[in-house]
Chains A and B, each alone.
Chain A
Amino acid sequence: MSTSVSGTGAGDLALELKGITKRFGAVVANRDISLSVRRGAIHGIVGENGAGKSTLMSILYGFYQADEGDISVGGKPARINSSRDAIAAGIGMVHQHFMLVDTFTVLENIVLGAESHALLEPNIRAARAELARLADEYGLSIDVDALAGDLPVGEQQRVEILKALYRHADLLILDEPTGVLTPQEADQLFRVLRSLKERGVTVILITHKLREIMDITDEVSVLRLGEMVAHRKTDSTSMQELAELMVGRALDSTDYSRNEALRADASTGIDVQDLVLERDNGTRRLDGVSLTVRRGEILGVAGVAGNGQSALLDVLSGMTAPTSGRFVINGREAGPDDLPSPSEMRDLRINHVPEDRLKLGLVKAFSAAESSLLGYQRAERFNWRGVLRLKSIRRLCASLMADFDVRPADPRLRSASFSGGNQQKLILARELDKSPDVLLVGQPTRGVDIGAIELIHEKLVEMRDAGCAILLVSVELDEILSLSDRIVVMYEGRVVGEVDGKEADKTTLGLMMANAHQPQQAVAS
């Protein structure tokens, strides 16, 4: 068991955990975890997906109770059996997915659950005054009368922070706070966190982004497989060391060389012209998108989530008919009236790794073998006049699992019992196994741990080198930058810019994603 690197006395600790163990049935999510967080520090907790970060924080916030171990908050032993106890102990939580009522104003959201008066009006009045004070003190200005749903995500997150402060939190836990933010919004968040720190608020930052850890934290703890494997002062460690601690082995820092074999005259895999997709209310998810992807090329589609990337994948994969516009995909022309179905697309050797792997990519209740059949149930190698060839299906699944290092390699295990990374590897294995000519990939590494990311990236590059045309949609700029030969940026359903993969940098892309790169007229809807 490692101990805290800080040599301070117990009185200076905002939070101390000793020997926390938590089991879920047969699975140990946290094993004998000890952690000391200094008062007024920004303390990072890193770990791969499934390392037990979220469980630990859920224990702190009273969603779960530890099976063993002690928690002290501010030097006093604490029993946290519910989120109410956590709030009373001064712990505030900003979840990865915001817990806001979209149709309530900011003010109403903040008061919700912390009403001190039976009537709403006095609560609101008191809250307004208190919020003005907090905004002043921490530099968290916000329009308290705006509807929460109308705010950009960065400000919604700010509301969550204010909610915690309003409840007198002096220990703030943020769970993957930058996942949904543009780089600029993330910078603003970090400014806010620093000003909180100056005023004595302790911040625990849970993330898998090591750059953020290096940028903002004072101390960092690393979780691996449910155990706390290291504590470091941030200025005495490096990203390389942290990454190795997280995965438990040395990592190559891979920079994927561009596909030099790509000729200028390489044939076109996808050619999209003026694609429009309207919602029922006439607003546009896609607003005149044109782009091309050549064979042997990865085209990265960058953008803040919800700016039309998903719609693009839906249309190109045959799941949703566009309102207007045409595209040619692997030689097949398609438009609003002659869109091939997803199974026809598969027959045309166009495969799709969907963004939402739990809803689309597999069926949670199915065994891994059954999920590895999804989309190919009609193929002759898997059924004989409609009767499933269970043996070939299981054998294929086992070989996919071996090729992509899916763990545990048991085709009979329920799809839901695999970690996100292993689910993703299974889906990717299923689609790449058919060696498609065109591959549509959405968020291939969302919620996937570092070890798996490496493998997934390698496999995609392998496909590209084999001449596959790959359209890669991702909100992770690092991923887009490291894989793409060309990059387009989407904003409000339009392509707002295109850059060469070699010349792209994060700042330019970030500005384009916020559509602040150059003045653009507002979208008519």
Chain B
Amino acid sequence: MSINTASVPLPAWLEVVVIPILNLLMALFSAGLIMLAIGVNPLEALGFMIQGALGDDYALGYTLYYTTNFIFTGLAVAIAFHASLFNIGGEGQAYIGGLGVALVFLLLDRYLPAVLLVPLGIAAAALFGAAWAFIPGWLQAYRGSHIVITTIMFNFIAASLMVYLLVNVLIQPGQMSPESRAFEPAAWMPSMKAALAPFGIDLVSTPLNLSLVLALVCCVLVWFYIWRTRWGYELRTAGFSEPAARYAGIRPRGVIVTAMCLSGALAGLVAVNEIMGVHHRLLLNFPAGYGFTGIAVSLMGRNHPIGIVVASLLFGVLYQGGAELAFEIPGITREMVVAIQGLIILFSGALALMLRPLVVRLYLRVKPVESLGPATA
């Protein structure tokens, strides 16, 4: 029997829980085969990975620190995606967000207290990220330049610009490595260890800082914006159907520019975690691919904040656990870990719907004729 399975609605738990887990298992299974091929016991490797990512406070701290970055970039991709825009420029937007943080702090960190500096830094990261996304957004809306092309190009431009600025302008005088001077501690995003110490919770020192809280707040804000405000309504309308948007008196151009600015602002917040929270100075290549991984995170999280948190956690585990794995098993190199990540992206991104027809058939077999259930809004 052949039915158009794509049009059969599935209950939410199947759609957002079971199918992604199946995809993940397939990816792990494939990764296991590769490990067998190079003579590594996959179960042992999995053990090292989970232990290395979740086994103790230290591991968990690192995992959550990576997770924070992925939440920001995942949300950035998702909000653009709801407007039917594919923002590949998270990397560059995060990078320029870092520039914003650095400029504000290099000017002001000696004069202002922490209560002003931290919000200023966050605002600067978001503003600069937004500005860097505004240009491709404007070009798409008013000049028809495709956003995918321009955002990719803007990643390169951002990278070149930052090299120039760090080598020639922002570098700490008398130093060889292209880095700015360190910011005053008042400008630092408090680490989780420092933040929880007053409550009697003693954590080991990791890069994890309060940016994680900011990321979770952003999840709620993004959810609220997209599904509970009229601007979000207009953004989704324009994303689903431009003619319907024009009919409804929505200016698709305005939506494109707004969505890109919000997307860029979220990507820019990676700098809060990295620059304000960890490095405390501006340095080269700090976005380290988080912007690109955000695409996979958003895809896997179905462009929904809750899904994005779960997917970010998974990628956090992969990053941290993968690093430990490469350290523990000599046969597994850093590249192998990247390959495993690639498999997960492949199965939960590109092939995300591969198993759906099968699940639909099984579902229909178990659950026969009944009226259509309500859709999730």
- Where the two chains meet, the residues of A that have a C-beta atom closer than 8 Å to any C-beta of B are 23-28, 64-65, 67, 317, 319, 341-346, 352, 354, 356, 359-367, 369-370, 373-375, 377-378, 382-383, 386-388, 390, 408, 410, 412-414, 417
Contacts and interface: CB of A to CB of B under 8 A. Distances in A.
B249 interface: yes
Contacts of A383: 229-230
Interface string B1-34: 1111001110000000000000000000000000
30 contacts: A23-B3, A25-B7, A26-B8, A26-B364, A26-B371, A26-B373, A341-B249, A352-B247, A356-B243, A359-B241, A359-B244, A360-B246, A361-B247, A363-B241, A367-B375, A370-B377, A374-B244, A377-B234, A377-B248, A377-B250, A383-B229, A383-B230, A386-B229, A386-B230, A386-B231, A388-B228, A388-B229, A390-B228, A412-B375, A412-B377
Interface in B224-258: 228-231, 233-234, 236-237, 240-241, 243-244, 246-250
B200 interface: no
Contacts of B248: 342-343, 374-375, 377
B246 A374 contact: no
A180 B370 CA distance: 36
Given A67-B1, A377-B233, A378-B230, A25 B8 contact: yes
Given A378-B230, A412-B377, A417-B372, A64 B3 contact: yes
Given A374-B237, A388-B230, A413 B374 contact: yes
B247 A25 contact: no
B369 interface: yes
Nearest to B367: A26
Nearest to B3: A24
A26 B370 contact: yes
Majority DSSP secondary structure for residues of A touching B: loop
Nearest to B370: A26
A417 B244 contact: no
Nearest to A393: B233
A383 to B, nearest CB: 5
Nearest to B229: A386
A410 B375 CA distance: 10
Interface size band for B:
35 or more
B17 to A, nearest CB: 20
Given A342-B247, A388-B233, A26 B372 contact: yes
A9 B373 CA distance: 45
Contacts of B4: 24
Contacts of B234: 377
A295 to B, nearest CB: 24
B300 to A, nearest CB: 20
Interface in B246-303: 246-250
Contact of B244 (A64, A362, A382): A362
A413 B249 contact: no
Contacts of A366: 236-237, 240, 377
A443 to B, nearest CB: 14
Contact of B249 (A342, A387, A412): A342
A364 B241 CA distance: 9
B215 to A, nearest CB: 23
B369 A23 contact: yes
A520 to B, nearest CB: 32
A436 to B, nearest CB: 14
Nearest to A344: B249
Given A367-B377, A387-B228, A360 B372 contact: no
B377 A25 contact: no
